[in-house]
A and B are shown apart, each in its own frame.
Chain A
């Protein structure tokens, strides 16, 4: 059995024991079975496919790498998602990113608007002194 850890800056995302992993990056697909030699692979972007009790899981990774030694796989990623299929995961990550940026943009606009209003109010208050 191989132990897999998926680690992101937000902490450990996923921890499981699996029979086999297959990873895919820009170079192609490769499988790792038990007692494979220690290896470091970049995944940017890429995914790791896991087989566990006949069930297939995908760990989709953006900006990361995979390290294998002593039958322990560690996937280090800036962004990662665990799911049943790969295409949707990548899209979901993209969506999350877009949503967040949109939200930030809106916040900025709101902030600028609020700031403009307060400046106007301050001006009015100052003007009232000269009455």
Chain B
């Protein structure tokens, strides 16, 4: 019996070792993806800054001009945009987000008619698709690691259009805010209506073609689309960081398990040897 036990434990040790190799590899992959995601954000920042400055410029130069997205109105219906991931094994990345969202909704709304949800990422979609909520995307929207504008433009445009025609009166985004590698926080932020657009003051007087209002009408959706894209990039960075930490602790845990199992294994092996000796000795004694 002891022999069988030792073999079982050894098999378990080997399996755990393999598992820890996988988690270690995933940790390293996530680390490199995290660096890449940080680079993407860095390249994106001047872009949004530029759009923001130009809009601020238009608004500062002419006081009469305004846009629906800048005007607050009474909120009857809310549009939510949740950013989740495609794949799991990222710690509490998706769970925390959904939990926070659901508790917020419970306190804020009485019925499901008061809000609509757009979900990015397969994990979130799979969670909400069978729930009794107003989901605006029937098909899941991919949140690939190399997320591109094309992937997400449709749903963002849909939300913006819904706001512009008055179906919803505000858009709130839920995402995991990247604070640092080990800390990410589920954050809710209102995107539309925009309260204030900050931009550096320039003393240049621009001419707007075809007209300031038309330029603003074109720029506002572009600005909002890119703002959301920025949040998505941030969430993506969080996802990689979260997965990295999760895989790191999984590797650590596996090592702990291996240590414990090795102890058991040695004990079992010793027991087996003792048993064998006892058998031989008693066998020899019986022959006497």
**B is bound to A:** yes
User: Is A11 a contact of B43 with CB atoms below 8 Å?
Assistant: yes
User: Is B47 a contact of A7 with CB atoms below 8 Å?
Assistant: yes
Q: B205-247 toward A: CB 8 Å interface, digit per residue (1/0)?
A: 1111110001100110010011001000000000000000000
Closest Cβ–Cβ distance, residue A75 to chain B (whole Å): 10
Interface pairs (26), CB distance under 8 Å: A8-B47, A9-B44, A10-B40, A10-B43, A11-B47, A25-B209, A27-B209, A39-B209, A40-B206, A63-B222, A64-B222, A65-B215, A65-B222, A69-B206, A74-B50, A76-B51, A76-B54, A78-B222, A96-B150, A97-B150, A100-B148, A101-B150, A104-B142, A104-B151, A108-B140, A111-B86
Interface range, A side: 20 to 34
Residue numbers in B under 8 Å from A128 (CB-CB): none
Chain B binding surface, main DSSP class: helix
Closest Cβ–Cβ distance, residue A71 to chain B (whole Å): 12
Residue from B40, B207, B214 in contact with A37 in the complex, judged by beta carbons closer than 8 Å: B207
Residue from A40, A74, A96, A111 in contact with B207 in the complex, judged by beta carbons closer than 8 Å: A40
User: Is B151 a contact of A40 with CB atoms below 8 Å?
Assistant: no
Please report A residues at the B interface, Cβ cutoff 8 Å: 7-11, 25, 27, 30, 37-42, 44, 63-65, 67, 69-70, 74, 76, 78-79, 96-97, 100-101, 104-105, 107-108, 111
Number of residues from B at the complex interface, CB < 8 A: 37
Question: Which chain A residue has the least Cβ–Cβ distance from B233?
Answer: A9
Check B122 for interface membership: any CB of A closer than 8 A. Answer: yes
User: Is A76 a contact of B50 with CB atoms below 8 Å?
Assistant: yes
Bound Cα distance A101, B50 (Å):
28
User: Is A42 a contact of B214 with CB atoms below 8 Å?
Assistant: yes
Residue from A27, A38, A111 in contact with B210 in the complex, judged by beta carbons closer than 8 Å: A27
Q: Which 8 A-B pairs have the closest CB atoms?
A: A11-B43, A42-B218, A41-B209, A39-B207, A38-B206, A104-B142, A38-B204, A100-B150
